[in-house]
Every structure is written in C-alpha cells, then in structure tokens.
Amino acid sequence: MTVLTLTGLILVIALLGYAMGVARSRSALQAGSVLHSRPQYSGAFVAFLFALPAVCLMLAWVAIDEGIIRSLTIASLPSDVTEGIDRRQAGALIREVFQVISGRTFGEPEPYMRDAAAYYVEAQGWSRTLMYVSCLALGALCAGWGFSRIAPEFRARNKVEAIVSGLLVLASCIAILTTVGIIGALVFESWAFFTLVPVNEFLFGLNWEPQIPIREDQIAGAGAFGAVPVFWGTIFIALISMMVALPIGLFSAIYLAEFASPRVRTIVKPVLEILAGIPTIVYGFFAVLTVAPALRRYGEMVGLDVAANSALAAGGVMGIMIIPFISSLSDDAITAVPRSLRDASLAMGATRAETVSRVLLPAALPGIVGGVLLAVSRAIGETMIVVMAAGLIARLTLNPFEGVTTVTVQIVTLLIGDSSFDNPKTLAAFGLGLVLFISTLGLNVFALNIVKKYRERYD
C-alpha cells in the first residue's frame, strides 16, 4: 500500500512540476523572447525529470528491501541460534518471526524471537520512511536541475522526445524481460530440483509418486520422481483431443473454404470462434458435470468399465476446445492457395472434391500441419480441463477409459497450498514446467516457421 501512496504522491508532485515549468517558460514568452519549444514541453521536461528517477529508485528499493531486512533480522538473532544455518533454516526462522508479528503463535515465543519480531517491524518502518524521503529528494534534485535549465533557447521538445523514445524502447524490452524471467525462474528452481533428484531419473524414470513426507513423523510414500508416465499421459490426452478436433476442424475448414456461400461463412466462422473464447474452466466443469458421467453410462451399457476421470473425457472435451484452432488455421491455409491453381483444376474437369483432395490439400498441407502443431502445443499446455477432468495418478496405459495424469495437472497439484521452495515436491513442479515450456516453445517455433515458409512460396 505504501508503494501505491508513494506513486500517487510522485504523480501529484510531477504534475506540480509540469505547471511550474510551463509557468516559467510562459513568463519568458511574455517578456518578449522567442521560445525554441512550446511551454508544455518545458513543463513535461520538469515532470519527467522528477517522476522517472523517483519511480526507478522506488522500484529498486521495493525489489531489494525485503531481502535486506530479512537478513538483518536473522543477523540480529543470538549467535547460538544462527550458527551455521543454511537458506532453508533461515527461511523457517523468518516464518517464525512473521508468526510472532501476526500473533498466531502456539505457546509463548522465545524472548529472542520477540526481539527479532520487534526488530523486523522497526526496520520495515525505517525502510519505508527512508524510501519516501530518498525517492522524493532524488526527484526534487533532478527536477530542480531541470527547472534551472528552462530558458527561451532551451531545446525542451528534443529532450522530451528523447526521453519518450527511451521509454518506448524500455516498454518493448518488457517482453524480453518476461521471457528472461520465465527462463530464469524455471531454470533456477529446476536446478535446485536436479541437485535433489538426478536429471536421468526425472526424464527416464517410470515411477511417479511425489507425495513425500513433509514432516518427519508423517506417513507417506518414499517419493519417486520418474516423469515418463506423466509425459505419456500428457501426450495421450493431446492425441485423443486431436482425434476429435482434427476431423471436425478439417472438414469444417474445407466446407467453409470451398463449398459454403459467403453468407454461411460470415455466420458460421464467428460461431466456431466462440468455442475458442469460452474460458477453459467452463470446459473443465462441462467435462466433470456432463461428459464424464455420460461416458460412464455408455460404458456400462456395453459392459466397459470407464473411470470417472478417464482420459477419454478430458481429451474429448479438450478436442472440442481445439476445433476452432484447427478450422481457422486450415481455412487460412486453404484460402491462401492461389485462385489460379483452383481454377486450373476445375477447368480440367475435376470435381470440387477432386480439386480439394488432389490440388488444394497438398498445396495447403504445410499450413495445415503448422496449424495442427500449434493446436498440439495448445493441448499440451492446457491446464484447467485436465485439472478438473483428468486423474492424479500417473499411469502408463493405452486404455483411454482409465485415468491418466498430465504435466499441467501435476504442476497444479504439487504447488497448491504449498509455498516453501525447499522440498523436492514443490521444486518438481518447476522441473515439469521447464519441460513444458521447452516442448511448447519448440513446437511453436517449428510450426510458425512452417507456416511462414509456406506463405512465402505463393507470395
């Protein structure tokens, strides 16, 4: 909350600086001099000079102050408590301090813990005050310098434009920063995981039982992190979904591109797009509420034992979600085939079906394959449908009526309700996340390349 107040304060003062800059520039105008830039630019110059340094300092402060306060708090504890502790134990101590601060303690806390809590609260207060003072002071200093430079011949517009251009570049770097952040976070936490569980065991092991004991007295499995059954489940469900989506999507695309009248096209295309716009949690609930029980009933009718969380239900519903991806990307690919090819085929006496199957589809194939690969990557990364409809137990099975689990399901179940980053159970989620990120990224890059290459061929 302090950050928001400070941001508001900075904005208000920056506006004030704008007004002062404009006024100073105007007074020079009234005195009869010829200005290089209009007064607004002088005002904007002062405002930017105040706000930018202040905001940067504030963000930097917020990013590092918590860590410093925590390590200072640890250092303030008596040396016999902190003697030779590692990162994990330090984290536990800090959690204890937080409990003392919020008053949720069981029994009387140690007196040194009480002191540490008081120390933490005090340090945080000091840090906040210092942050306010230093941010505003830095801003005022810079703005004062800027204000003093305002003169009739001062090239304020050029300066302001340079600042704005810099901000534009900075904004476009946020995307890079996000990618760096994703890769950094995944690799860093996965690294910690692979020091606990060997990479080989993770990538090629056949046994996945991540329910390890959190406390020593807890009864749980020994914990096994062989992710092959999880990978298989992901691929299996993606395959089932493609078996639903591919024929429906492809046939609709062919119909829309080659047979449908423009009117039908303008109505049906958006209707199919609705399927892609519905949030996946809705599909998940649909799978649990309607599809899974229906499959179970049909299964019973023909004497099959269908699990409540069968791969078929999850994959089937995911297939419905993916139909529009396949249909619109294939539609684009088919309509992108030049008119001349189509006309030539029809002029030779081929029927429409023959034109589609012998000329258009082969010509559009790379685009269609690209679209299918994009859809597969979508299916692999899809989370909510499988979290709600697929199973939790990792099985290596070819039976679509049994439950399997997927990478995304495991990530969610491993991380829900657990916040410490120090046991293999939570870290395993990041290992799975890394595999997921790399595989979807690979599929996307590959698919986009195919689509791009194909487009160039006819342009």
Partner 1 sequence: MTDTTRPPASGWADEANRSNIGLKRRHARSRRLQGFGIGAIALAILMLGTLLWTMVSTGYSAFVQTHLSVEVTLSPEEIDAQSPGDANYRDIMQRAWLSSFDNVTEENEGDLLSMLSRGAELQLRNLVIDDPSLIGQTIQMEVPAADDLDQVEKGFVSRATPEEYRIVNDRQIEIFYELKQDGRVSTPFNTALFTEADSRFPELAGLKGALIGSFFALLVCFVLSFPIGIAAAIYLEEFAPKNRWTDLIEVNINNLAAVPSIVFGLLGLAVFIGFLGFPRSIPLVGGMVLALMTLPTIIISTRAALKAVPPSVREAALGVGASKLQTVLHHVLPLALPGIMTGTIIGMAQALGETAPLLLIGMNAFITAAPDSMMSPSTALPTQIYIWADSPERGFTARTSAAIMVLLGFMIIMNGIAIYLRKRLETRW
**363 interacts with partner 1 by CB under 8 A:** no
Given candidates 354, 396, 397, 455, which one binds partner 1 under the rule CB under 8 A? 354
Which of 104-112, 138-146, 173-181, 194-202 is the region at the interface with partner 1 (rule: CB under 8 A)? Answer: 173-181
Given candidates 84, 107, 111, 277, which one binds partner 1 under the rule CB under 8 A? 277
- d(Cα 155, Cα 153) in Å, to the nearest integer? 6
Specify burial of residue 391 (Cβ count, 10 A radius: 0-12, 13-18, 19+).
Answer: buried
**38 interacts with partner 1 by CB under 8 A:** no
**5 interacts with partner 1 by CB under 8 A:** no
Given candidates 14, 97, 240, 272, which one binds partner 1 under the rule CB under 8 A? 272
- d(Cα 288, Cα 267) in Å, to the nearest integer? 30
Give one DSSP letter per residue of 122-188, joined into a string.
HHHHHHHHHHHHHHHHHHHHHHHHHHHH--TT--HHHHHHHHHHHHHHHHHHHHHHHHHHHHHHHHH
Sites for partner 1 among residues 365-394 (CB under 8 A): 374, 377-378, 380-384, 387-388
Given candidates 12, 130, 173, 214, which one binds partner 1 under the rule CB under 8 A? 173
Give the residue ranges of DSSP H helices in 280-348.
Answer: 280-286, 292-301, 311-335, 339-347
Minimum Å gap between C-beta 436 and partner 1 is 6
Minimum Å gap between C-beta 260 and partner 1 is 8
- d(Cα 68, Cα 322) in Å, to the nearest integer? 48
**18 interacts with partner 1 by CB under 8 A:** no
**174 interacts with partner 1 by CB under 8 A:** yes
Given candidates 279, 302, 303, 340, which one binds partner 1 under the rule CB under 8 A? 279
Given candidates 132, 194, 285, 401, which one binds partner 1 under the rule CB under 8 A? 285
Q: Which pairing describes strands 208-209 and 224-225: parallel, antiparallel, or unpaired?
A: antiparallel
Identity of the residue, 46 or 409, whose beta carbon is nearer to partner 1 in the bound complex:
409
- Name the token pair of 142: 């810079």
**124 interacts with partner 1 by CB under 8 A:** no
Number of residues that bind partner 1 (CB under 8 A): 94
Sites for partner 1 among residues 416-445 (CB under 8 A): 416-417, 419, 421, 429-430, 433, 436-437, 440-441, 444-445
Which of 100-108, 126-134, 148-156, 345-353 is the region at the interface with partner 1 (rule: CB under 8 A)? Answer: 345-353
Given candidates 12, 133, 167, 393, which one binds partner 1 under the rule CB under 8 A? 167
Sites for partner 1 among residues 206-245 (CB under 8 A): none
* CA-based radius of gyration for the chain: 31
Minimum Å gap between C-beta 428 and partner 1 is 12
- Least Cα distance to 296 among 273, 280, 317, 312 occurs for 312
- Name the token pair of 154: 């001062």
Between vectors from CA 162 to CA 158 and to CA 164, what angle results, nearest 5°? 115
Identity of the residue, 92 or 137, whose beta carbon is nearer to partner 1 in the bound complex:
92
Minimum Å gap between C-beta 382 and partner 1 is 7
H helix or E strand, kind and range, residue 303: none
CB 100 within 8 A of CB 124: no
- Name the token pair of 330: 């294939």
